[in-house]
Structure 1
Amino acid sequence: MIRRREGVAAAGQPPVRRLAREAAEAAEVRSYQTDPDVIALRVERVRAEVDRLCWTGIGLGLAFTMANVQHFAAGDAAAWSLPWLTAWLLDPTVSLVLLAILRAEQVTARWQVRTGPWVRCAKWLALTATYVMNTWSSYATGSLAGVVLHSVPPLLVFAAAEAVTDLRDKLTQAATVAGRVHEPPKPRTLFADYLADARAAWTPGVTINPAWIRKVTSCSRGLSSKLAAALSAEVQEERS
């Protein structure tokens, strides 16, 4: 009953007051939405979601290639023999190196630190080796369907490994740019403010010149001459 009366009272407000209240509420909401910390938090949430999806896709792609690589490495070895069991180690060897590089790039891209050429070379070598070992049997038998089937996961992992680094870098840039755009502008220092600072710093016996003005106020070179002249005039007036 009380809420209903409040709603009726709000509906009965003059249009100007109602619009003013709505404008104030909208301004408050916008101030929070455009706050650099809020924007950075949203970007971090998106970054975490992108990382989870990409890591899931890369993990599933590498898991799919494991059986193909084992079959390639085992060859005609009998099942559960020592060569057959050892063949299962080949794909994890390559995949672990690849995952280590991607994990390191996840941190470097977060802080926009560029890695050296050997990092990319190792990543491409691991991805190329995975692709060749997955598709070799299909190429050898002339099975185009097999080539396509076994090409999709390694190529997708390759593309995702390159794309996820750029995405992290761009998300960091987005947070930085958003914070810079919505940063409140610094108030402009007026001539009177500079003059007041110079007046407070001056003591009898100090020579008033543009160089001294720039030292105590950090003003521009062009403004320092005017400030020196104005302060000198004040000092002469006080003396007279």
Structure 2
Amino acid sequence: MSTTSPVPEPTPEDISRGLAEIERHLIASAPTAPVPRDAVERVEPVGEPWSGQTRRVQRLRAEVAEAHQLAALQADDAPLLLDTPKVRKRRKAAHEAARLHALAQDPAMRAWQADRMRRVLVTAALVSLALALGWSTAGVQSFAADGAPQWSPGWLFAWFVEPFMSLALLVVVGARAYLGTRGTPLNDPKLVRIEYLFLGLTLGMNAWPHLPGVADDFSVSRLVLHVLGPIVAVAIVTALPIILAAFTNLDHDPHRGGLTGLTYSANTHDPVRAPAPEIAHLIARARTLIATGELPANPSAYRLQRILRCGMDDARAVRDALADPS
């Protein structure tokens, strides 16, 4: 007969140890709850230096790194030294303006500009003269027809009166204009009288039928309209030689400051003051103007100064040289 030994009663320490083992077993065997995707997001690939960080942390880290780089670059003033497109455009315009100004001071350029302007003015004057004479054609035809029936020989031939007078006048004016542009003004008194003869005839034939006491129904406006063409023609014929003479006397060198210097010493024959080197040129010009009739045979010093555009002392010297042929 066997005997069993009694089982010892567990001590409080044994009970605590058993409860701890049961708790560990339950924790180890319990299922793991899934972590929400938006709570922690891993960044792939794992090998990158910022792997294991949340997207928010990565964005902030990138922002901080960008701020450090911008702060370092902002300290460099190199971009401020570069010209913007607007500055380049303005500098180019200023450089071009400076070169154009320098070119405008060149004597050759000034001569070319004066010649171009002179041609434009002569062309405009001749066109205006032709239009003014054409304007008076109807008035001259009415005067020349003298009441002839329409389409009759007298009525038809009356239309040719103004054209052949105008052509003759344009021959004289054109010749004077062309020679004036070549520095040889044609101021013969006979040609001047021929010009004013044709213009006077044109003016008279236009104005006569509309004068007070001649016209049945006088009207100032009708008279002005009919004399407008001849008056414009007279003005052009008078002004054109003066304009061309002024162009001929132009000095295209801005450094000389004119044809002659303005001199006003007390006595032309003062031995202290040497004669200007342009005196011989002025004497030759004065003799040419005397030959063409623009100056009288013995012009005064004042008139020589005004025509030759020189100083009074030079004008006196020219006057004395003209009075003394030796």
Determine if the TM-score, normalized by the shorter chain, exceeds 0.5.
Answer: yes
Pairing partner for 2:227 from 141, 151, 154:
151
> How many residues of Structure 1 are paired with residues of Structure 2 in the alignment?
167
1:6 to partner: Cα distance: 6.5
- Distance in 1 (alpha carbons) for counterparts of 2:107 and 2:127: 30
1:85 to partner: Cα distance: 1.1
Residue equivalent to 1:109: 180
Q: 1:58-73 maps to which residues of 2 (within 5 A)? A: 58-73=129-144
**Could you report, residue by residue, the CA deviation over 1:84-115 in whole angstroms, capped at 9, with x for unpaired residues?**
11111211121011100110011221113332
Pairing partner for 2:191 from 101, 116, 119:
119
Amino acid at match of 1:43: A
Pairing partner for 1:178 from 226, 244, 252:
252
Pairing partner for 2:161 from 90, 100, 112:
90
Structure 2 gap ranges (5+): 1-80, 257-326
- Distance in 2 (alpha carbons) for counterparts of 1:60 and 1:114: 24
**Could you report, residue by residue, the CA deviation over 1:40-62 in whole angstroms, capped at 9, with x for unpaired residues?**
11011111221222122111111
CA contact (8 A) 1:77 1:83 kept: yes
Matching of residue 138 in structure 1 with residue 214 in structure 2: no
Pairing partner for 1:45 from 110, 113, 116:
116
The alignment yields a C-alpha RMSD, in angstroms, of: 2.9
In our comparison, the structure showing a higher alpha carbon Rg is 2
Q: 1:12-31 maps to which residues of 2 (within 5 A)? A: 26=98, 29-31=100-102
**Could you report, residue by residue, the CA deviation over 1:151-173 in whole angstroms, capped at 9, with x for unpaired residues?**
22211111011112211221222
1:129 to partner: Cα distance: 0.4
Question: Measured at CA, do residues 79 and 50 of structure 1 come closer, stay the same or move farther in structure 2, by a change above 3 Å?
Answer: same
- Distance in 2 (alpha carbons) for counterparts of 1:182 and 1:46: 22
CA contact (8 A) 1:66 1:88 kept: yes
- Distance in 2 (alpha carbons) for counterparts of 1:93 and 1:32: 47
**Could you report, residue by residue, the CA deviation over 1:184-220 in whole angstroms, capped at 9, with x for unpaired residues?**
xxxxxxxxxxxxxxxxxxxxxxxxxxxxxxxxxxxxx
Residue equivalent to 1:167: 243
Structure 1 gap ranges (5+): 12-17, 184-240
Question: Measured at CA, do residues 91 and 36 of structure 1 come closer, stay the same or move farther in structure 2, by a change above 3 Å?
Answer: same
CA contact (8 A) 2:136 2:206 kept: yes
CA contact (8 A) 1:108 1:115 kept: no
Amino acid at match of 1:178: H
Amino acid at match of 2:238: E
- Distance in 2 (alpha carbons) for counterparts of 1:95 and 1:46: 26
Residue equivalent to 2:148: 77
1:145 to partner: Cα distance: 2.5
**Could you report, residue by residue, the CA deviation over 1:2-42 in whole angstroms, capped at 9, with x for unpaired residues?**
xxx9636xx8xxxxxx9xxx89x94x554422111100110
TM-score by length of 1: 0.62
CA contact (8 A) 2:210 2:219 kept: yes
TM-score by length of 2: 0.46
**Could you report, residue by residue, the CA deviation over 1:113-140 in whole angstroms, capped at 9, with x for unpaired residues?**
3321000000000100000000110011
Tell me the percent identity: 27
Matching of residue 129 in structure 1 with residue 129 in structure 2: no
Q: Per residue, is there more helix in 1 or in 2?
A: 1
Amino acid at match of 1:131: L
Higher relative contact order (CA 8 A, sep 6+): 1
